[in-house]
Structure 1
Amino acid sequence: MSKRELIEPNPGDKRYARRDDEGRFTEMVDVGKSLSQDRRREAKTEAPKGQGDRGDRRH
């Protein structure tokens, strides 16, 4: 699984995107929604760096 990268297709519209082996977008999610869901849920697994949507990071 590739790392998520932060893109801004339009000013003020930031998104986390994931690409496949050929560089095409496979998954895209709005940053605001992603961060708000992170705050609402307690993840059961610890995710590696760049995979924040797959679980929590230890601080």
Structure 2
Amino acid sequence: MSKRELIEPNPGDKRFARRDDKGQFSEQVDVGKSLAADQRQHAKHDAGKGQGDKGDRQT
């Protein structure tokens, strides 16, 4: 599983994206929605670096 990378396809439109084995984007999510969803979760386990959307994060 690849890490999330921050991309900005247009000025002011930042997104977290993952790439598949071929290097193409497989999944994209808006930064604001992703960070808000991470904060709403009550962490029980730590997620690895770059994997905040795949597990819990301590806040």
Relative to the length of structure 1, the TM-score reads 0.87
Q: Secondary structure at the match of 1:34?
A: helix
Aligned 8 A contact 2:17 2:26 in 1:
yes
Cα deviation, residue 46, structure 1: 1.6
Distance 1:54 1:8 in 2: 21
Q: Choose between structure 1 and 2: higher helix proportion.
A: 1
Cα deviation, residue 28, structure 1: 0.4
Distance 1:14 1:44 in 2: 28
Q: CA RMSD in A?
A: 1.5
Aligned 8 A contact 2:41 2:56 in 1:
no
- Show structure 1 runs of 4+ deviating over 2 A: 56-59
Which residue of 2 is the match for residue 5 of structure 1? 5
Cα-to-partner distance string for 1:10-55 (whole Å, 9 max, x where unaligned): 0000000000111011110000000111111113332110101012
Structure 2 unpaired stretches of 5+: none
Structure 1 unpaired stretches of 5+: none
| 2:19 aligned with 1:14 | no
